[in-house]
Amino acid sequence: MTEFARRGPLPVSAATQKLLDRYAGASHSGRWDSAAVGVILRHGSPSDADALLPVFLAQPDAGRHLVPVLAKHGDQSTAGRLLAELTDDGRLRDGVPAEVLHAVGLLGYEPAEQMLWQYAEGPYDEAMNASLGLLHLPCRGVRAEVAAALERHQGAALFPEFLPALAAKTGDPSWLGRLAAWGEDAASTDCNGGLILGIALHGDRARATFTRLLWDPRWEANGGGTGSDRWAYAGARVLGLTMSDLYTGLRARLDGDLAQEEMRHCLETFTALLGGWVGRPWLGLTSAPDPAETPDMLLDLLFEWSTPDRDDSVIGLASSVLDPDDGVLARLYELENELRVRAEHDLEIQTLMSRRLHDR
């Protein structure tokens, strides 16, 4: 018998209990819900998913913020209930958020494979969530359809954006080079998030290709409005790139023979990636775990001066290239401040835990 079985299920977290109380009183708000969900994602357990599932099933549209908790801490029985209660004839019922498609795939629920594929070339929100869900399933039953769809759209400027993320599911290794050429020669940067992620999902042999695209202005991997920065961050996590790797790459490029605008692009891309490292958004990709670097480690690596005589931190590096009022430089200062707050918070938690253990 496992330790978990002997002790019984964990109690719900304080954040979950607060959510339950707020939903019961109809006083919940999207912004507060999102903050609570972030805590539950990092520190929750299956008990939290079990407690929140009935709440979500009762009001799926209002409760869409809860889906990540179900996907992270639920299991295949969670996925089965989501499909049983929120679909009719293989389609989501009206008002059911598309994130459910991502969740059932992430939970490894293979009976959903055909249903998810039916959404993969549809409207953006549904297609994105269906494709992200399919990444977690074998896709044996839809492999030929995926390959045919990729062939049909290859070389287009606009296409179902996350379809290329499924390229590795075809088993055809040539898609690595084909995705890269597609992004460089034809794809709109409004539509290249799936290409960026799809390249990374080809594994170690994609590392050089992926690293090149990060710094290539044609890819606009810094794009916040298009979401390319999010999927560049996700791809870096898939490939296990560290912030030290990326900082080394940035410095090498700034030491090279680049034009001013190219240097600014590299700094903007690096800053966008650092924003992911600091904020650690939930991606819902088992292949993209959170970075191992702590706030302390990032502060030491990027923001400390090696000598009191000259600022050779990333801010000093950026200041040598950018105008003092450049938004990239301002963003680096913001990220430094956020890291210092997080480092202090982490130390407070460690201190409280140590004191609690001492008092027992």
What mean pLDDT is predicted for residues 289-300?
96
Amino acid symbol at 25: G
What token pair was written down for 323? 């105008």
For 11, other C-beta atoms within 10 Å of its C-beta total: 12
What token pair was written down for 52? 């929140």
Give a yes or no: residue 249 inside a domain: no
Please give the model's pTM, rounded to 2 decimal places.
Answer: 0.93
3-state DSSP assignment of residue 313: coil
Amino acid symbol at 130: A
> Which residue range is the domain that position 119 belongs to?
9-20+46-135
Rounded distance, CA 215 to CA 262, Å?
8
Pick from 19, 76, 73, 79: which is nearest to 47 by CA? 73
Give a yes or no: residue 94 inside a domain: yes
What token pair was written down for 150? 């990729």
Give the residues across from 310 on adjacent strands: 307
Give a yes or no: residue 111 inside a domain: yes
Q: Give the H/E segment covering residue 119.
A: helix 113-119
Rounded distance, CA 265 to CA 262, Å?
5
Pick from 313, 162, 289, 139: which is nearest to 228 by CA? 162
Each residue's pLDDT tens digit, 51-107:
999 999 999 998 999 999 999 999 999 999 999 999 999 999 999 999 999 999 999
Give a yes or no: residue 98 inside a domain: yes
pLDDT given at position 7: 44
Give a yes or no: residue 64 inside a domain: yes
pLDDT given at position 23: 86
Give a yes or no: residue 95 inside a domain: yes
- Chain-centroid distance of CA 71 in Å reads 14
Q: How large a percentage of the chain has pLDDT more than 90?
A: 86
Give a yes or no: residue 337 inside a domain: no
Confidence of residue 27 (pLDDT cuts 50, 70, 90): low
If one counts the domains in the chain, the total is 1
pLDDT given at position 354: 81
Pick from 277, 296, 275: which is nearest to 288 by CA? 277
pLDDT given at position 6: 43
Give a yes or no: residue 87 inside a domain: yes
Tokens 């650690």: give the residue.
280
Amino acid symbol at 175: W
What mean pLDDT is predicted for residues 166-183?
98
pLDDT given at position 3: 42
Confidence of residue 327 (pLDDT cuts 50, 70, 90): very high
